[in-house]
Amino acid sequence: MPSIAIESAASLGWIGAGRLARALALRAHEAGVRTVAVASRTAQPAAWLADATGAKLLDPQGVADTAQWVFITVPDDAIADVVAGVHWRPGQLVLHCSGAGERDLLEAARRAGASTASFHPLFLFAGLPDDAERLRGASIAIDADAPHDAALANFALRLGCPPLKVRAGQRALYHAGANYAASFLLCALHEAATLWEAAGIDRQAAVAAMWPLVEGTLAAARARGLAGALAGPVSRGDGGVIDRHLQALEALGGDHATLYTALTRRALALAAERGAPSADVLADLSGRLSPAP
C-alpha cells in the first residue's frame, strides 16, 4: 500500500484536542501541512483548534471520513475504545501519540484495512501558549511499517523535529526512560527543595536557588556529555562526604537515604563510563552504600 508523501496534499485529522494535539497540529499548520477536521469530547478546545487551523469541527467518524492521516490524541486508556468506535477505510493512516502504548491499540483500524503508526513527541506539553514553537527541535519516536516509516520521518523533519526509531514491543522501556528526563527530573528537584527546607532554607528561596545549578548542569551535559558533566562526591572520589550525606538522610527518616543510594549507584555508573575516579576508588564508594535490594 503506497504511503502519502507529506509533500503532497496529505490531510490531517485529530480526534482529541488536548495539549499535545494543539501543539502538534499548530506546528504542522505553521509548516504548511493541512488539518482538515477536529473532534473532541470537549467542545471548546476542539472549536479553538479547528478555528486556529482552518479545519472543520466534526465528530470522530466525520474526522475519519475526511482526513487521510488521523491522529488519535486522547488519553492512552481511551485510544482502543475510540478506534473501535470508528469505521476506517483502506488507504488511510491512523496514528496514536502514546509514549508507552504499542500499535496494537489501533488494531481495530488495522483490521479494517487502514495502516497504523505511533508518533510520540519527546516533549513536555505544559499547555503554554508557545508549546507549538518550543516543540521545534524535540525528537519524535516513530513506529510504522514501510513505507509509512519514511513518510512519517519526513513529516517529523518538516516540523523541525528529529525522528527516532523505537523497536516494536519496546515502547514501555522507551517511555520509562522519557519519564526520567521529564517527570522524574522534577521529582529530583522536589527532593532537593525538601532537603534544603529541612536544613532551614525557605522553600520558595530553595526553589529559586536551584535554577542556576540546574541550568549549569544541563549546559555542561550538552557540552561534555552525561558522564563528562558529572560532579559531586562520586566524581571526586570523596567517600567521607557520601558517609555524611547518608547519616544526615537516615536521621531525617522516610525513604530519603534509599533514594540517595539508588541515585548514587547511577552516579558510580557514570563515573565508570568516564573512567575516573579509578576502579578501586569506585569500588570503595560502592561499598559505603547500603546493599542493593
Q: Is the peptide bond before 277 cis (omega within 30 degrees of 0)?
A: yes
Which residue's C-alpha cell is 508507552?
100
Cell of 252: 531525617
Give residue 1's pLDDT. 42
SS3 259: helix
Pairing of strands 140-144, 69-72: unpaired
DSSP 8-state secondary structure symbol assigned to residue 104: G
Give residue 124's pLDDT. 86
Give residue 177's pLDDT. 95
Distance CA 219, CA 261 (A): 25
Closest CA to 17 of 71, 68, 62: 71
Closest CA to 272 of 262, 291, 285: 285
Burial letters 50-73, b for 16+ CB under 10 A, else e: beebebbbbebebbbbbbbbbbbb
Give residue 290's pLDDT. 67
- pLDDT by residue, tens only, the chain of 293 residues: 444 454 454 799 999 999 999 999 999 999 999 999 999 999 999 999 999 999 999 999 999 999 999 999 999 999 999 999 999 999 999 999 999 999 999 999 999 999 999 999 999 888 888 999 999 999 999 999 999 999 999 999 999 999 999 888 899 999 999 999 999 999 999 999 999 999 999 999 999 999 999 999 999 999 999 999 999 999 999 999 999 999 999 999 999 999 999 999 999 999 999 999 999 999 999 999 965 44
Cell of 72: 488519535
Give residue 292's pLDDT. 47
Interval 80-116: pLDDT, tens: 999 999 999 999 999 999 999 999 999 999 999 999 9
Give residue 167's pLDDT. 87
Phi, psi of 37 (to 5 degrees): -155, 145
Q: Is the pTM of this model over 0.85?
A: no
Amino acid in the structure at residue 6: I
Cβ atoms of residues 63 and 37 within 8 Å: yes
Burial letters 99-127, b for 16+ CB under 10 A, else e: bebbbebbebbeebebbbbbbbbbbbbee
DSSP 8-state secondary structure symbol assigned to residue 106: G
The total number of residues shown for the chain amounts to 293
Interval 45-93: pLDDT, tens: 999 999 999 999 999 999 999 999 999 999 999 999 999 999 999 999 9
Contacts by 173-181 with C-beta closer than 8 Å and gap 24+? 174/99, 174/100, 174/141, 175/99, 175/100, 175/120, 176/100, 178/99, 178/122, 181/122
